[in-house]
């Protein structure tokens, strides 16, 4: 209150008139500029928010594309693994068949070899028997038979041996 006593009414009225005059001048010259600055600031903020939303949408799209590519890669990898497993099974089957064929060939070769050895042994045995028979006949009879008699006796003896087999 003391402050009011110090001020005179004319000073207060001058202050009010100065304030109103300043207010009207500011309204005429600066108010529109201030409002324009505020509007520009509001537009700039709204544009930045729109840009942020666009970037978010683009990031979401890129992420979806990336996940789709990963899924495609996973499918491709699974398909290639499956193909490799099938190829490995085929190679395994081929190797098994090849080994089986080789074993069959070895067995067949062994049989042929055994058959050949058996024939060879029979021939050697036959020749030894013939010699033994000739020596025995010569020892029993005391003389050597003619070639025809030898052959006939040997033929008969060999036929008996072959029947015995």
pLDDT for the residue numbered 82: 93
3-state helix, strand, coil in the chain (%, to 5): 95, 0, 5
Give 55's pLDDT tier (boundaries 50, 70, 90): very high
Q: Over range 14-30, report the average pLDDT.
A: 92
To the nearest 10°, report the CA torsion of 44, 50, 51, 55: 160
Which tops the pLDDT comparison, 131 or 20? 20
DSSP string, 119-135: HHHHHHHHHHHHHHHHH
> Which of 122, 139, 132 is CA-nearest to residue 154?
132
The answer to whether 153 and 137 have CB atoms below 8 angstroms apart is yes
| 1 secondary structure, DSSP code | -
Q: What is the mean pLDDT of residues 129-139?
A: 72
Q: Which two tokens stand for residue 72?
A: 């495609």
- The structural domains of the chain, with segments of one domain joined by +, span 47-164
Q: Which of 54-68, 88-102, 146-160 has the lowest mean pLDDT?
A: 146-160
Task: With CA atoms as reference, report the closest residue to 133 among 110, 156, 164.
Answer: 156
């Amino acid at each position: 209150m003391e402050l009011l006593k110090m001020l005179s009414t004319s000073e207060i009225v001058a202050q009010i008139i100065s304030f109103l005059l300043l207010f009207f001048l500011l309204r005429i010259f600066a108010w529109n500029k201030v409002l324009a600055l505020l509007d520009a600031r509001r537009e700039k903020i709204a544009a930045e928010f729109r840009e942020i939303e666009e970037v978010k949408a683009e990031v979401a799209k890129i992420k979806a594309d990336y996940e789709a590519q990963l899924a495609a890669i996973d499918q491709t990898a699974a398909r290639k693994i499956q193909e490799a497993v099938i190829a490995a099974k085929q190679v395994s089957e081929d190797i098994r068949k090849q080994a089986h064929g080789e074993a069959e060939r070895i067995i067949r070769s062994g049989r042929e070899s055994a058959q050949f050895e058996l024939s060879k042994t029979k021939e050697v045995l036959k020749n030894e028997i013939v010699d033994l028979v000739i020596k025995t006949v010569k020892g029993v009879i005391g003389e050597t038979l003619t070639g025809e008699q030898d052959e006939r006796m040997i033929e008969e003896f060999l036929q008996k041996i072959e029947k015995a087999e």
